[in-house]
Structure 1
Amino acid sequence: MTLDEQKMKISETKLAKNDIKKSIWENLQIVIIALILAFIIRTFIAEPRYIPSESMLPTLEIRDRLVVEKVSYYFRSPHRGDIIVFEPPIQLQLQGYKREQAFIKRVMATGGETIKVMDGQVYINNQPLTENYILESPHYNLQPIEVPPGYLIVMGDNRNNSNDSHVWGFLPEKNVIGKAVFRFFPFPRIGSI
């Protein structure tokens, strides 16, 4: 092999190494950007959630997978009927629930509204609430209570098997993580909530 051929071979080897380094760097940049985007999306926009209990039957079943969107509550407060995911309030944390152990329930009353449960019927501001989504009527009574501003009353759709506001009281709006909007698993039940 001539000296020129050897120089050319060395030059080709250096170029190949540089191409490999460049390719690795480009791929690493893509991975870093993807991780940052995933973090931003999960933290501020939407995240997947899993249903671990029967408290929202028949609307949500055990092992349902949901998308919880977080954007709308930056601009408005939750409304009655919204199905929300939230961090447990201090009352539940004192019972041993961890802060990151999210709950899912339906908003029943918002700040300024009065709620009561009597004879199997929920009343908001003394008006009976039509609830075609519950498993069965509640077997308990709840004396009339006015919800303070910045708080919510939440209940599971499976009223008689739900650890909710009728047990532990008001939920601070600041504990709300987001609104359940879409079921993506199991496949036969895919759709809006």
Structure 2
Amino acid sequence: MAQPAPEVASGSLSGEPTKRRSFWREWPVLVVLAFLVALLIKTFVLQAFYIPSESMEPTLAEGDRVLVEKLSYRFGEPERGDVVVFARELGAPRTDEDEGVLARIGDAVRELFGFPTGGEQDFIKRVVGTGGDVVQGRGGRVLVNGHRMAEPYLADGTELGDFGPVEIPPGAVFVMGDNRTHSDDSRNYGPIEGSQIVGKGLLLIWPPGAVSGL
């Protein structure tokens, strides 16, 4: 009696190249999707920022990177002592209008990981007064509504020239750098609007040995 011919497995070998081709076709799509998700997070939730100057020393040094969250001020208001990132001019362009698409994508990738870009217009300072407050500098200290403000984040011997008084409009904040003698801040350009604020400083993430909350 003739024995039935053994079945030959099909697809185990011939399907491998197809799977590999499918993977390489899907790979660019996955990369684009991952980039879009990261871009959404950067735009609406979290973003790393590069510290370009010494204006926030000793809290933040030039070259540090901080993680900024963008949700707090969607549901609440800035408070005294908050470290905030803001656009100096409302609606200021982040990149040169003449840049091509690839250059803008490159800028977006660098900004995502906290690397500086040529078109950056953002600043980082500390809130010392909010809407309705009267802020002034007297005798080397900041006075808010006539009371000396406690500022444990300042370096010993920090000097401060007299300024003000400045009454802060509703919805605005008065910001200053922790390095008072090397900071361009609200003493020069006045209070900033809440709509200019990008987010609240959350965490110092670079250098690795200095990771800490703000």
The equivalent of 1:118 in structure 2 is 138
Moved more, 132-141 or 56-65: 132-141
Q: Quick check: 27-36 or 172-181, which moved more?
A: 27-36
2:168 to 142, 147, 150: 147
Identity of aligned residues (%): 36
Corresponding residue SS for 1:48: strand
Structure 2-normalised TM-score?
0.76
2:214 equivalent to 1:180: no
- Alpha-carbon distance between aligned partners in 1 of 2:199 and 2:119, rounded to the nearest angstrom: 15
Q: Which has the higher helix share?
A: 1
* Deviations 1:34-76, CA, capped at 9 Å, x for gaps: 0111110010011111111110111111111111111111111
2:184 aligns with 163
Please name the residue that 2:86 is paired with.
86
| Contact kept in structure 1, 2:141 and 2:160, CA below 8 Å | no
The size of the alignment, in residue pairs, is 179
- 8 A Cα contact 1:107 1:155, kept in partner: yes
SS at 2:60's partner residue? coil
Contact 2:83 2:127 in 1 (8 A): yes
Corresponding position of 1:102: 122
CA RMSD, Structure 1 to Structure 2 (Å): 2.3
What is the deviation of 1:25? Answer: 3.1
Q: Which amino acid aligns with 1:189?
A: A
User: 3-state DSSP class of the match of 1:53?
Assistant: coil
Tell me which residue corresponds to 1:36.
36
State the Cα distance separating 1:99 from its structure 2 match.
7.6
SS of the counterpart of 1:179?
A: strand
Amino acid of the structure 2 residue aligned with 1:56: M
Q: Tell me, in whole angstroms, the C-alpha distance in 2 between the residues paired with 1:20 and 1:102.
A: 45
Q: Is the CA contact 2:127–2:176 (under 8 Å) kept in the aligned structure 1?
A: yes
Report the Cα offset of residue 119 of structure 1: 1.0
Q: CA deviation at 1:80?
A: 0.7
Inter-partner Cα distance in structure 2 for 1:20 and 1:131: 60
Asked if 2 retains the 8 angstrom alpha-carbon contact of 1:87 and 1:100, the reply is: no
Letter in 1 for 2:23: S
Match of 1:127 among 144, 147, 154: 147
Kindly state the Cα deviation for residue 19 of structure 1 after the two structures are TM-superposed: 2.5
Q: In the alignment, is the contact (CA less than 8 A) between 1:45 and 1:69 conserved in 2?
A: yes
Instruction: Give the secondary structure class of the aligned counterpart of 1:30.
Output: helix
- 8 Å CA contact 1:88–1:101 kept in 2: the answer is yes
Please report how far the alpha carbon of residue 133 of structure 1 lies from its aligned counterpart in structure 2 after TM superposition: 1.1
Q: Contact 2:55–2:178 (CA<8 Å) still a contact in 1?
A: yes
Contact 2:65 2:205 in 1 (8 A): yes
Q: Look up the equivalent residue of 1:105 and give its one-letter code.
A: K
User: Shift of residue 132 of structure 1?
Assistant: 1.6
Q: Distance in 1 between matches of 2:42 and 2:55?
A: 25
Give the C-alpha shift of residue 15 in structure 1.
4.4
Structure 1 residue runs without a partner (length 5+) = 1-10
Report the TM-score, using the length of structure 1 for normalisation.
0.84
The question of whether the paired residues in 2 share the 8 Å contact of 1:89 and 1:172 is answered with: no
Query: Which segments of structure 1 move beyond 4 Å, counting only runs of 4 or more?
Result: 11-17
Deviation readout 1:145-164 (Å, 9 max, x if unpaired): 21001111000001111000
